[in-house]
Amino acid sequence: MRTSRRSRLVRRPRWLVVAAAALVAITAAGCADDGSGAPTDPARLVGKTYLSQQVDGEPIPGGGPLEVSFLPGSLAATAGCNRHSGAVRFDGDTMTAGQLVSTMMACAQPADGADRWLSDLFGAPLTWQLDGTTLTLSRGSLRVKLVERTNRPVIGTRWQVTALVEHDAVTSSKVLDESKPYLLIDASGAVSGSTGCNRMTGTATVTDDTVTFAPLATTRMACDAETSAVERSVLTALTGETKVVVDGDHLTLTNVADRSVGLRLTAAAE
């Protein structure tokens, strides 16, 4: 005698099936690959700086690059002239900057048009997409591809002075651009460079966030009054202990004895 067994079909309530399907959909959207076109978490941008590698559309006057840094709820950007900063909000794949304020530094042509280009870029909502270390900003026919940058080392990098800080005012000038003062510290602590007028040499001790300069020696070539003024500002900043902050290709140097004095420097080719 055979005994037959009938399998029992368990029916789940319809509400449970619908809820499970919704959970799967939400999970899949949250884990979507950045290249899929799904919005990415904007928190992934915080604390990072991106540099433009390609611009499709109107080029940046002076060549840029566009540099964009993100903090919680805000961004800072420059395209080769003044630095702009302000609030930013995200809604899915849309990025909208608020009213940006900027420094008031005068820039030589053609970089003097970079501020207008940057204001136009952030003057209306942008579509954004993050794929690994590549950030793409687009609107209409304009498309800017940026790549996350890493900090340059203080030692071994040729740092060119791009602005002077005196009495807390950050200034640049045509004379500064043309004289090109720079600083180089090698692995032994030897200092070499130019004040914009004379060559300078000496030694320095470098820690994670400070550089302490021994008295620097210079050649004694005579220069015009404006270039000599640049030299005095550079040597005053490079006296004794200085506080340094590296942000990608940029170095901020502040004299510890007089914190109203300092330099803004950018990594330059040898």
Q: How many CB atoms lie within 10 A of CB 217?
A: 11
For residues 133, 82, 168 and 238, what is the CA-based torsion angle, rounded to 10 degrees?
60
142 and 51 both lie in a single domain: yes
170 and 263 both lie in a single domain: yes
47 and 129 both lie in a single domain: yes
> Residue 47 corresponds to which tokens in the numbers above?
């604390």
167 and 140 both lie in a single domain: no
> Residue 119 corresponds to which tokens in the numbers above?
């204001």
Q: What is the pLDDT of residues 176-230, one digit of tens each?
A: 999 999 999 999 999 999 999 999 999 999 998 999 999 999 999 999 999 999 9
166 and 204 both lie in a single domain: yes
96 and 52 both lie in a single domain: yes
Residue whose pair of structure tokens reads 């020696």 in the numeric block:
217
Specify if 154 maps to a domain.
Answer: no
**pTM for the predicted model, two decimal places:** 0.57
72 and 117 both lie in a single domain: yes
122 and 193 both lie in a single domain: no
Q: State the DSSP string of 62-85.
A: GG---EEEEETTEEEEESSS-EEE
Q: Last residue of some domain: 129, 148, 167?
A: 148
Q: What is the pLDDT of residues 22-49, one digit of tens each?
A: 333 333 333 344 444 446 799 999 989 9
206 and 251 both lie in a single domain: yes
Q: How many CB atoms lie within 10 A of CB 118?
A: 26
111 and 55 both lie in a single domain: yes
Return the percentage of the chain with pLDDT > 90, whole number: 76
Specify if 72 maps to a domain.
Answer: yes
Which stretches of the chain are assigned E, i.e. beta strand? 49-56, 67-71, 74-78, 83-91, 94-97, 101-102, 126-131, 134-139, 142-148, 159-166, 169-171, 182-185, 190-194, 199-206, 210-213, 217-218, 240-247, 250-255, 262-267
Beta strand 74-78 with 250-255 is unpaired
Give the pLDDT confidence score for residue 39 in this predicted structure: 60
Specify if 136 maps to a domain.
Answer: yes
Domain housing 253: 159-267
Specify if 206 maps to a domain.
Answer: yes
Q: Last residue of some domain: 100, 115, 148?
A: 148
Beta strand 83-91 with 101-102 is antiparallel
Specify if 35 maps to a domain.
Answer: no
Q: What are phi and psi of 227, to 5 degrees?
A: -70, -35
142 and 176 both lie in a single domain: no
Give the pLDDT confidence score for residue 35 in this predicted structure: 45
Of 1-10, 74-83, 219-228, minimum mean pLDDT range: 1-10
Q: Last residue of some domain: 148, 173, 199?
A: 148
Specify if 168 maps to a domain.
Answer: yes
Number of domains in the chain: 2
Residue 221: CATH number of its domain: 2.40.128.270
Round to whole Å and give the CA distance between 270 and 266: 12
Specify if 36 maps to a domain.
Answer: no
Specify if 22 maps to a domain.
Answer: no
